[in-house]
Amino acid sequence: MKKLNLISFIFAIYIILTIVSCAKQIAISGGPKDTSPPKFVKSMPENGSINFNFDKIIIQFDEYIKLNNINQKLIVSPPMKTKPIITIKRKGILIKLKSKELEQNTTYTLNFNDAIADNNENNSLNSFVFAFSTGDKIDSLYCAGVVLDAFDRKPVKDAWVSLYSDLNDSAIINTTPSYITKTDQNGKFSIPFIKENTYNIYALIDNNYNYLFDLPEESIAFLDSTIQASVKFTPKTDSTEDKVINQVLNLELLIFKEDNQAQFIKSSKRTTPRLVEINFNKAQYDDFEIAVAGDENAIVNMNKDRDSLKIFLTKEEIIDSSKLKLILKYPDFELSNNIIIDTVNLRTADIEIKDNIAKLFLPKTIGTHSNLEIKTDYPIADFDSDKLKLELISEDEYIDTDFELEKDSINPLIIRFKSKLLEKSEYRIIFDSLFLKNIYNETNLADTVNFKTTSSSEYGNFKIIFPETNTNYIVQMIQNEKVIAENKEINKEVEFKFLKAGKYIVKIIEDLNTNARWDTGNYMEKKQAEKVYFLPVEYEIRANWSHEIEWDPITNKFIE
């Protein structure tokens, strides 16, 4: 038997996988349920034809079929100028296309994914591909990889992945790609039947379905260098070939959305006559300003994420007014030295202030490593430490405990305790009336509040040592997608103390511009999003343990 060359053999395998299935079992009445997909019978012209110049393709199966979401699932690569028209013809499908619009010497693929199913039980024929070439050969090269979200490295499904032989940066903005495919549920993609050439590769969340990066809200991924499509459908034979295959078959595209959206207010409301709450579309920058017309002493309290704030009005005439005007200043993305001034008009809330009491809030449990906080509902004007007692609750007595109080330097609603608290103990705080006065001259009621302290043995410590580097890191300890602890401006080592026992995801952000936050990328500036790394395992912090690891984020290797 004449030996087939490897290219022909593997190409044949690829086609056979799409057209061959085991013999279909037809259930007689009352028999087992039909679970087999339709079976390919034949096509005109044949699958894998060369010198293609037809205006229609007929594909026949062994039973009546239907098409599920064909317009969404069919992927034609390279994209055709006129989209093929596909209709069902009894046990087959008819594909109409315009052969005159096809590129010369080009291999085309029609990937139906799972759109073809039998008519009765809806059993899908997965990954059926019809291929043909307008030249005298089927192109046999291949590339593959995965698309991940740049911020959390999670797989991105249904992203378009495109190859461009046009290496101009504007190609993804203005021209149709040379080849196209879509990622699966796991973010993986493969593009077969491509010509030997040099390409730029991109991934795109294409909101207007035109394969172009032309909307500000679209996400994009790109590589810093071109790829050389030179890998054929051949088995790996030596270490040199392994390296080549790994470069083109293990591509990693990190997709991001550019930060070019103008800042704006998502919602605003006057919750009470005294209080305005505002939510923004994204975090505000340091040069953001907001003011209340006629109330220059209004207090603005921004949340930690800088995407919402509360404004506490101070002037009686503004509080009593039925109208309120806010003045906001934003940096202009299009003109770097320009400031956008916006105004918001609000009417008074219909909610009346029911009482004139300053409310106090305290936690029921606190770690001895933490400072106890008193929170209130409106900004604090003053407090009197002599009108508060802190007592340790013993078996048969209450023991006075020394403390100091101070206002929080950032949040005007918080007073912090400074006190040496005993572990695993119970305390009570006795508030006299008039302990606290807020900016509206409201005072608190007399009250007694109990709380407990935890034991340091319930916590663990965690130290990470990095290789010598000039890179600045942000290190986060995450549970249930919430950042539990964070350290910034780290480049050699970091230690987290008093972590609650449990499993943590450890995340590192390369903070290249040292602004203490993750920054996205910009395609036209050829700037990638700041890199993110995760410890390859969830790390378990044990109670009353001190953990230490050495971790190189670049190689993702760590030693305990």
Q: Is 87 exposed, middle or buried (0-12, 13-18, 19+ CB in 10 A)?
A: exposed
The domain spans of the chain are 6-133, 141-257, 265-347, 360-454, 458-559
Give the amino acid at 296.
E
The architecture in CATH of the region 360-454 reads Sandwich (2.60)
pLDDT at 395: 85
Per-block mean pLDDT, blocks of 10 residues, the chain (560 long):
42 43 43 82 96 96 95 95 94 95 96 93 91 95 95 97 97 96 95 94 96 95 91 46 54 94 84 90 80 93 90 93 86 63 76 80 90 94 97 92 94 94 95 96 96 94 90 94 89 91 96 91 96 96 96 88
CB 472 within 8 A of CB 503: no
Query: The domain 6-133: what is its CATH number?
Result: 2.60.40.1220
Q: Which CATH architecture describes the domain 265-347?
A: Sandwich (2.60)
Omega before residue 78 within 30° of 0, cis: yes
Domain 141-257 has CATH 3.40.50.2000: no
* Residue 345, pLDDT score: 85
Q: What CATH code would you report for 458-559?
A: 2.60.40.10
Computed from CA positions of residues 56, 59, 63, 69, in that sequence, does the dihedral angle turn out positive or negative?
Answer: negative
Q: Which residues of 3-31 are buried (b: 16+ CB within 10 A; e: fewer)?
A: eeeeeeebbeebbeebbeeeeeeeeeeee
**DSSP, residue by residue, 396-408:** S-EEE---EEEE-
Q: What is the 3-state secondary structure (H, E, C) of 497-544?
A: EEEECEEEEEEEEECCCCCCCCCCCECCCCECCCCEEECCCCEEECCC
Q: Which two tokens stand for residue 421?
A: 């608290």
3-state helix vs strand vs coil in the chain, percent to 5: 10, 45, 50
Beta 482-490 vs 473-479: how paired, if at all?
A: antiparallel
Residue 248: CB atoms within 10 Å = 19
Q: How far is it, in rounded angstroms, from Cα 521 to Cα 137?
A: 40
Q: What is the phi/psi pair of residue 324, to 5°?
A: -145, 135
pTM of the model as a whole: 0.82
